[in-house]
Amino acid sequence: MIKHFISLEWKSFLRSASFGTNLALKIFMTLGALYFAAMFVGLGIAVYFLIEDAGLKPFETVNKFLIYYFTADLVIRYFLQTTPVLNIKPLTILNIKKNTIVNFVIGKSALSFFNFLHAFFFIPFSIVLVKEGFNPMQVVFWHIGVFSIIYSMNFINVLVNKKDSIFYVVLTIVGGFGLAQYYGWFDVTVYTSPFFQGMYDTSYLFLFPIAALVLLYYFNFKFFKNNLTLDTGLAVKSKEATTENLTFLDQFGTLGTFLKNDIKLLKRNKRSRTTVIMSVVFIFYGLLFFTNSIEAYNNPAMHVFAGIFVSGGFLFTFGQFVPSWDSAYYQLMMSQNIPYREYIKSKWWLMVIGTVVSTILASFYLYFGWHIYLLIVVGAIFNIGVNSHLVMLGGAFVKTPIDLSSSKQAFGNKQAFNMKTMLISLPKLLLPMALYAAGYYIFSPEVGLLFVAGAGVLGFAFRNKVFTMIEKIYKTEKYATISAYKQTN
Amino acid sequence: MIQVNNLSKIYTNGKKVLNIANLEIPKGQSFGLVGNNGAGKTTFFSLLLDLIEPTTGSIKNNEVIVNQSEAWKPFTAAFIDESFLIGYLTAEEYFYFIGDLRGQNKADVDALLKKHEQFFNNEILNNKKYLRDLSKGNMKKVGIIAALIGNPEVVILDEPFANLDPTTVSRLKKIIKELAENPNVTVLVSSHDLVHTVEVCDRIVALNLGEVVKDIQTSPETLKELETFFAV
């Protein structure tokens, strides 16, 4: 039986839409995975010495922050890791015992990349610990404890994934602890780190996470077994629909019609909501640059880079998939009397609105001074004037159908992150970086800002020309696009 | 109204899926396309809607060559399959969206919906569901009525009878017959079901492996003739 399952999984992996696309993409995906693995290995080796250099006790410090590490892990899992429940629907009526199916589903979630990733960090770290004179036996205990917790997170995620409320309660509590610790009101790590430390110091504390893991496995097993019917666990959740008229957009004619539709698209599909969340995350991305916490990021060119990303998170994540967002009903769009220009314009306006909102939300960067915020503002101008066009131009060639209704998310297990479109975005960042650096070093920082803003305004002048170009691409690529969008996963 | 010249579709693997030398559908006709799976019915409709590119030849819809100009779009409406629905909209939102694109205001759309209230059987409007959560049959109801928005002169329905319950089928036949009575409306319907097609269409064309194998004006004997033909 196991043999069959493994061969099924292997086929579903190899034949998934994103993997089958082309060789270049496969290479990029592999490189991406290797990059993350290498980062974690590097971190696992270096973190000990980094903390030591900072004058702290490495092992104790790691134990102190493990609680946040695990929480962050849970949050990432919650948004990105999916439980592939639907795939087992065809198995339920075959001659396979329920227990076997359930074990298969749970076992499958245990094999996720989200679990393996941690091994890249903790194994090197444990090796360094042993090398630095920690007791090998105790390190192994600690290591087993940590991995039991990681797998517990995996199973907790499976359980809470169905229940949003529990997740947000947990998140609020831990987030509150984090804030409290930051402001020095209350330090939760005082209570948690002795436990993690204890997994090393004693020979029995690591048994608790193992017990928790076993218990969670049991709960998961029970949960799935009880819900292995079409109207419970395998049912596709459907939310009660609300009709929205958004009549204020009527005054914009056809443009308004499309905008109305796009707003509903963003609000009502898990896939597009992830995009919105991502763009909020991008707003905070700038903190890495402007707090001077990372030395390599602390130069003018990198600051513009941050400015572009802070204001353009939505523009990039949404725009790269225009018109793929409409892939599910592209045939309808192509057989209706649709003015392409208005369609493109509506997507453009949506990106402009997204950029403006991001820029306003990012006003807390004023804390770092006017110049920093102006960097974000000129970034926004450049995004609207130049990048919005480039992104849509790139998107016109992207023929990846987007499955809006599925809960598979942007970075889901198999529907991998589209490296190709990320690469297309690179020039969009390099140009403003070069412009700003040129102005900055030759004249002054202010001139650098002017250069970037000027390029944005100049780009805006080409708007209609670019729209005509995109229109042409849509028309010439029409048949190819329709046939590509028909290939669902 | 619709003229087909030398039309063929050959896929890159060399498979010829459609080959129609000549076919003319006059204005006001209700035209039925029957055939087994793979006969080329959906391919023909997709070519007519310019969703795929013909290998040779062309289709003229009201003197507009469909793969050269888009001027056929304002007077042509179609429902091929669920990919013509927007899953995250409610039925009402979808109807208004199509209405907007076809130059109809809310009142026009409401009037049409009112007229087809019986067809919906209280399962479509105000039921707080997105289209993606509807059953196949109800999706079909939405798609068919949406294809009638804006008084199109050419209405194309692919397999409209499939997945519908018996009551709805008989109501749908009434709707199609009503459309067919209008001398300005050309209706094109494809189906596996010979009985239904014969009942609603003036003319039946049977396709087999992409070729026209029968082309008959409907008469009392038509059904028998078709049944014998397909009973192999």
Q: What is the residue-level pLDDT of chain A in tens, covering all 489 positions?
A: 778 777 877 777 676 655 555 566 667 767 777 887 888 888 888 888 888 888 888 888 888 888 888 888 888 887 777 666 656 777 777 878 888 888 888 887 787 777 888 888 888 888 888 888 888 888 888 888 988 988 888 888 877 766 667 777 777 887 788 778 777 777 777 777 888 888 888 888 888 889 989 998 998 888 888 877 776 666 666 667 777 777 788 888 888 888 889 999 988 887 888 788 888 888 888 888 887 777 777 788 888 888 888 998 899 888 888 888 888 899 998 888 888 888 888 899 999 999 999 999 999 999 888 888 999 999 999 999 999 988 888 888 777 778 776 544 444 333 334 555 555 666 788 888 888 888 888 888 889 899 999 999 998 888 899 899 889 988 888 888 888 888 754
Show Cβ contacts of residue A450 under 8 Å, excluding neighbours closer than 6 positions.
Answer: A439
Q: How many CB atoms lie within 10 A of CB A52?
A: 14
For residue B16, give how far its alpha carbon lies from the nearest alpha carbon of chain A (Å): 17
Q: Is B84 on the interface with A (CB under 8 A)?
A: yes
Question: A461 CB near a chain B CB, below 8 Å?
Answer: no
Determine contact: A483 vs chain B, CB below 8 A: yes
What six digits make up the tokens of A256? Answer: 């308004």
The answer to whether A388 and A352 are in contact (CB under 8 A) is: yes
Say what the pLDDT of residue B188 is.
95
Cβ-Cβ contacts under 8 Å, B100 against chain A: 254, 257
Structure tokens at A296: 């390599």
What single DSSP character describes residue A294? S
Q: Does some domain include residue A310?
A: yes
Report the C-alpha dihedral over residues A34, A35, A36, A41, rounded to 10 degrees: 80
DSSP 8-state class, residue B184: T
Rounded CA-CA distance A268/B88 in Å is 6
* A239, part of any domain: no
State whether A119 and A256 are in the same domain: no
Q: What Å distances lie between residue A48 and A116, A118, A126, A132, CA to CA?
A: 21, 16, 10, 9
Q: How far away is chain A from the Cα of B186, in angstroms, using its nearest Cα?
A: 17
Instruction: Say yes or no: B97 contacts chain A, CB-CB below 8 A.
Output: yes
Beta partners for B204? B32, B216
Partner residue facing B97 (CB), from A240, A242, A257: A257
Instruction: Mention every residue, 6+ apart, whose C-beta is less than 8 A from residue B12.
Output: none
In this structure, the dihedral spanned by the alpha carbons of residues B206, B208, B80 and B115, taken in order and rounded to 10 degrees, is: 20
**Ramachandran assignment for B203, one of left (phi > 0), alpha (psi -120 to 50 degrees), beta (any other):** beta
Same domain, A118 and A259: no
Inter-CA distances, A24 with A41, A387, A420, Å: 25, 24, 8
User: Is the minimum CB–CB distance between A336 and chain B shorter than 8 Å?
Assistant: yes
Residue in B53, B83, B92 nearest the CB of A243 = B92
Return the residue of B nearest to A237 by Cα: B133
Q: How far apart are CA B192 and CA A64, in angstroms?
A: 69
Give B-chain residues touching A401 at CB under 8 angstroms: none
Do both A204 and A297 map to the same domain? no
Q: Which residue has the higher pLDDT, B185 or A64?
A: B185
CB contact at 8 A, A336 and B146: no
Nearest CB neighbour to A329, from listed B50, B86, B102: B86
Chain A residues near residue B128 by CB distance under 8 angstroms? 240-242
Contacts with A105 (C-beta within 8 Å, 6 or more apart), sequence order:
A83, A84, A85, A88, A224
Strand pairing class (B16-25; B2-10): antiparallel
Assess if residue A234 is contained within a domain. no
Say if the Cβ atoms of B133 and A238 lie within 8 Å: yes
C-alpha A489/C-alpha A82 separation (Å) is 16
Distance (Å, whole) CA B13 – CA B17: 11
Closest partner residue to B80 (CB to CB) among A244, A257, A331 is A331
Q: Are residues A222 and A253 in the same domain?
A: no
Q: Are residues A66 and A202 in the same domain?
A: yes
- DSSP assignment of A231-250: TTTTSPP-PPP-----GGGG
Residue A83: what pLDDT?
65
Identify the bridge partners of residue A100 per DSSP, sorted by sequence position. none
Tell me whether residues A329 and B92 touch, CB distance under 8 A: no
**Domain count along chain A:** 2
Per-residue pLDDT averaged across B93-101, rounded? 91
Q: pTM of the entire structure?
A: 0.74
| Residue ranges of A 238-257 with Cβ closer than 8 A to chain B | 238-244, 254, 257
pLDDT in tens, B161-178: 988 999 999 999 999 999
Note down the domain range covering A107: 2-226
Q: Does B130 touch chain A (CB under 8 A)?
A: yes
pLDDT at A405: 62
What's the start-to-end Cα distance of chain B, in Å? Answer: 34
CB within 8 Å: B129 and A242: no
Assigned token pair, B214: 């029968």
Q: A211 and A290 share a domain?
A: no
Interchain contact A329–B (C-beta under 8 A):
yes
Do A331 and B84 lie within an 8 Å CB cutoff? Answer: yes
User: Do A50 and A183 lie in a common domain?
Assistant: yes
Tell whether A488 is within 8 A of chain B (Cβ): no
Q: Give contacts of A328 with chain B, Cβ < 8 Å.
A: 83, 86-87
Instruction: Answer whether residue B209 shows pLDDT above 50.
Output: yes
- Say yes or no: A475 contacts chain B, CB-CB below 8 A: no
Q: Are residues A146 and A75 in the same domain?
A: yes
pLDDT at B172: 95
CB A280 within 8 A of CB A266: no
Looking at the structure, tell me whether residues A205 and A271 fall in a common domain.
no
Q: Is residue A208 part of a domain?
A: yes
Kindly report, residue by residue over B10-63, the tens digit of the pLDDT.
988 888 899 999 999 999 999 999 998 888 999 999 999 999 999 999 999 999
Both A195 and A88 in one domain: the answer is yes
B78 chain-A contacts, CB cut-off 8 A: 335
CA distance A204 to A426: 51
C-alpha A52/C-alpha A57 separation (Å) is 6
Q: At residue A92, what are phi and psi to the nearest 5 degrees?
A: -65, -30
- Taking CB atoms and an 8 Å cutoff, what residues of chain A touch B158? none
Q: Tell me whether residue A459 is in a domain.
A: yes
Q: Are residues A369 and A479 in the same domain?
A: yes
Output the pLDDT for position A419.
54
With a CB-CB cutoff of 8 Å, which residues 396-435 of chain A face chain B?
404-405
Tell whether A235 is covered by a domain: no
* List of chain A residues whose C-beta atoms are within 8 Å of the C-beta of residue B76: 335
Beta carbons of B87 and A244 less than 8 Å apart: no
Is residue A233 a part of any domain in this protein? no
In the A/B pair of chains, how many CB contacts fall below 8 A?
87
Residue for token pair 């919105």: A276
Nearest CA among A191, A197, A206, A190 for reference residue A59? A197
> Which pLDDT does position A352 carry in this prediction?
93
Region B146-170 average pLDDT: 93
Contacts of B101 in chain A (CB under 8 A): 254, 257, 336-338
- Which positions 52-71 of B are in contact with A (Cβ < 8 Å)? 52-53, 70
Residue A173 lies in a domain: yes
B51, B87, B130 ranked by CB distance to A335: nearest = B51
Residue A402 and residue A284 in one domain: yes
Contact B90 A241 (CB under 8 A): yes
Residue A326's Cβ-side half-sphere holds a number of Cα atoms within 13 Å equal to 23
**What does the pLDDT read at residue A410?**
43
- How high is the pLDDT of residue A424? 60
